[in-house]
Amino acid sequence: MRISIIAVGKVKQPGLRAEIDDYLGRIRRYATCSEVELKDAKARELVPRMLRALPERALVVALEVDGKAFDSRGLATWLEGVERAPGSVVFLIGGAYGLPPEVPERANLRLSLSKLPLPHRLARLFLCEQISRAFTILRNEPYSH
């Protein structure tokens, strides 16, 4: 399985960057995982860059406040189904103003991590942690707290 996280903005805070990298490392025990950071811009510039970054045959998940909400087990079950499908799964995280409207239209799933808006940096950390947790749930492994 291949997982890509395409996010608008760079994580510059060293502590936060270290936490995200730690969770990306945990995910890589179970799947190939990459992260792409796109420079924030107006929608007319950002949309083509974001769409070009999508791998072919990818299942696209747009993170949005009003998307579908899962609990940890629900996300794990969804991920298990995706794991069996060909291609890759791509998670899209918008910038300060979210994703441009054209991007979620391309998505196979609109996912909500919280009903509260999250800064893109924290959304990325939260997403990485939840993907890592989902893999441990699927493999009946203890979760490192």
For residue 11, the domain's CATH number is 3.40.1280.10
- pLDDT given for residue 90 in this prediction: 97
* Residue 21 is assigned to a structural domain of this protein: yes
Domain annotation covers residue 88: yes
Mean pLDDT, consecutive 10-residue stretches, the chain (145 aa), reads 95 96 97 95 92 90 95 95 87 92 91 92 96 96 75
What's the pTM?
0.94
Q: What is the pLDDT of residue 96?
A: 84
> What was the pLDDT predicted at 144?
61
59 domain-assigned: yes
143 belongs to a structural domain: no
Q: Quote the CA–CA distance of 89 and 12 in Å, as a whole number.
A: 25
In a domain, 97, yes or no: yes
- Which tokens belong to 112? 């909500």
Q: What is the maximum alpha-carbon separation in the chain?
A: 45
Structural domains of the chain, count: 1
Residue 29: domain span: 2-138
95 domain residue, yes or no = yes
Percent composition of the chain: helix, strand, coil (DSSP 3-state, to 5)? 40, 25, 30
The answer as to whether 145 is a domain residue is no
Residue 69 forms part of a structural domain? yes
